[in-house]
Structure 1
Amino acid sequence: MPIGMPKIPFLIDEDEDEDEDAKERNATWVDLYNVLYRTRSIFLGDAIHLEIANHIAGLMIFLTIQDATQNIYLFINSPGGLAVAGLLIFDTMQYVKPPVYTLGLGVLASMASFLLVGGEMSKRIMGPNSRVMLHQPESDYNGKDQMEEVFLDIEEIEDIREMVIKAYLERTRLTREVLNDQLERNYFMPATEAKYYGIVDEIGVKNLLGRLLDESASQDNSLDPDAPDEGASQDNSLDPDAPDETRPPKLR
């Protein structure tokens, strides 16, 4: 969590007859992320570990119970992290009923790229200046005195690696040959290449924020009821000026 996160006023029951000063006095001050959760937006902006994974999975389940018809938005900017924690979030995304948009911003490395791929098909979006880095699961053998423990650990990592590869093959246009090559080296893939291989479906999030606010306003009267309607079409949320690569990029 960033240092000095601001608190902002949130009106639970807004009275249209109140003036602005009265509204501010009656507002409940909450942190920024709390308000963003009310727009069904979840941010993963740190390394992936079990505490964060439990928090995100719990939020997705709560939002599903709250309203199973509204989209969930998962914003990702992460260096990756623990494989089992990433798998927890991935499985929850497949379990919940609402479509889960995944929006990649900044760097999406290792398990973070896996979560980007795990979003609802056709609803995986990436910023034009973002980078994806595929990486195989790793293990730390430190502190393991018995060779049997090391072999068991290697076997577990191989099982997880196969699960990750299977998901990539099912949800992208990556071949096993290209995937094996990518997993063995730290190659940062640009957005156009990620779209070509089917890791994401669209590049650019030009009008997504306006539509997100509209969807939230439709189910929460504490948000601005006068927000412009930009959500009539799913396609309008995407950047019409995003580049569309039709030729395979060169692997470096």
Structure 2
Amino acid sequence: MQAGSIPAVSQANLPNAAPARHAAEGARGGGLPPPRVVSRKLPSRLAYIPTVVENEGGNRERTFDIYSRLLKDRIILIGRPIDDVVANLVVAQLMYLAADDPGKEIQIYVNSPGGAVTAGLAIYDTMQYVQSPISTVCIGRAASFGTVVLMAGAKGKRFSLPSSNIHMHQPLIGGKGLQGQASDLDIHAREIIRIRGVLNELIAKHTGQPLERVERDTDRDFFLTPQEAVEYGLIDGIIEQTRVPVLAASK
């Protein structure tokens, strides 16, 4: 594919950049105080999860953890390696949002190094299954299966922030190596080759690139800038604006 200029990204096609703030403004109407953001400490690698406290009038307050508040605005964040736990959470959120309003857009923000292919395929298949259009945005990094999720958004709705890093490669065998008799190792080898073929076909399908080029590019680690990802067909545009006006999610 010939290198070309990055297609213009109009504000009408951009995903909502600050829905929580605007949704809160719409909910306040004019007299309610702004939502408070606090943090609660967790005994885990996440350390802190911010909590948004919204005043619903009078002495009534409603508390959301930050991910639930984003989900209220139909935003899903994949900000960790993709394993079975993360995949089940994302699938559940997609199914909930699709059932809540089948025709309304869902936004997935990707900042992930990838992960287990089987877990990632559960997310991919659900994205193709639900009726809601899905917009994807790379923030920071989309690597390995994170790139598959990024490219699986609806055509014309796949974006990246300008400093993001995008990466593809063939599937890997995790852990410290396989053990067992030769026939078992042969079974695993044939399965990972089959999965490699499946992933290459998906990339060719969503990018429009010839399968032969995809096979060549993913044979080793293949890094792309956002501009190169646009030219390759992985995404449709780069979000340059620092602030994008959005409508309140309640409208």
- Select which of 134, 137, 143 maps to 1:103: 137
Q: How does 1:158-237 map to 2 (within 5 A)?
A: 158-204=193-239, 206=241, 210-211=245-246, 214=247, 216-218=249-251
| 2:63 paired residue among 19, 22, 29 | 29
Aligned-partner SS, 1:73: strand
What is the alpha-carbon distance in structure 2 between the residues aligned to residue 171 and residue 82 of structure 1? Answer: 20
Measured after TM superposition, the shift of residue 156 of structure 1 is 1.2
Aligned mates of 1:37, 1:208 — CA distance in 2: 20
1:10-159 pair list within 5 angstroms: 10=54, 14=56, 18=57, 22=58, 25-140=59-174, 142-159=177-194
1:103 and 1:171 map into 2 onto residues whose CA distance is 15
Deviates more, 1:167-176 or 1:48-57: 167-176
C-alpha separation in 1, matches of 2:233 and 2:248: 27
**CA distance, structure 2, for counterparts of residue 132 and residue 92 of structure 1:** 22
Given that residues 125 and 205 in structure 1 are in contact (C-alpha distance below 8 angstroms), is that contact kept between their aligned partners in structure 2? Answer: no
Q: Which protein is richer in helix relative to its size?
A: 1
What's the counterpart of residue 48 of structure 2? 4
The answer on whether the counterparts of 2:80 and 2:111 sit within 8 Å (CA) in structure 1 is yes
Range with bigger deviation, 154-163 or 170-179: 170-179
Change (3 A) 1:194 1:127: same
Report how far residue 75 of structure 1 moved.
Answer: 0.2
Larger RCO, structure (CA 8 Å, separation 6 or more): 2
User: How far apart are 1:171 and its partner, in Å?
Assistant: 1.1
Q: Partners of 1:177 and 1:159 in 2: how far apart?
A: 16
Q: Distance in 2 between matches of 1:102 and 1:156?
A: 29
Residue 150 to residue 166, structure 1, CA distance change in 2 (3 Å)? same
How much has 1:64 moved relative to structure 2?
0.7
Give the conservation status (yes or no) of the 8 Å contact 1:103–1:124. Answer: yes
Structure 1 stretch 136-145 or stretch 67-76: which is displaced more?
A: 136-145
Q: Per the alignment, in what secondary structure is the counterpart of residue 217 of structure 1?
A: coil
Matched length = 206
**Matched position secondary structure for 1:150:** helix
Contact persistence 1:80–1:111 (CA under 8 A): yes
Relative distance call for 1:38 and 1:124 in structure 2 (3 A) is same
CA RMSD between the two structures: 1.9
* Greater alpha carbon shift after TM alignment, 172-181 vs 78-87: 172-181
Partner Cα distance (2:120, 2:240) in 1:
24
* Unaligned 5+ runs, structure 2: 1-44
Shift of 1:205: 6.1
Separation in 1 of the partners of 2:100 and 2:73? 12
Change (3 A) 1:158 1:208: farther
- Matched letter for residue 191 of structure 2: E
Is the CA contact (8 Å cut-off) linking 2:201 and 2:211 kept in structure 1?
no
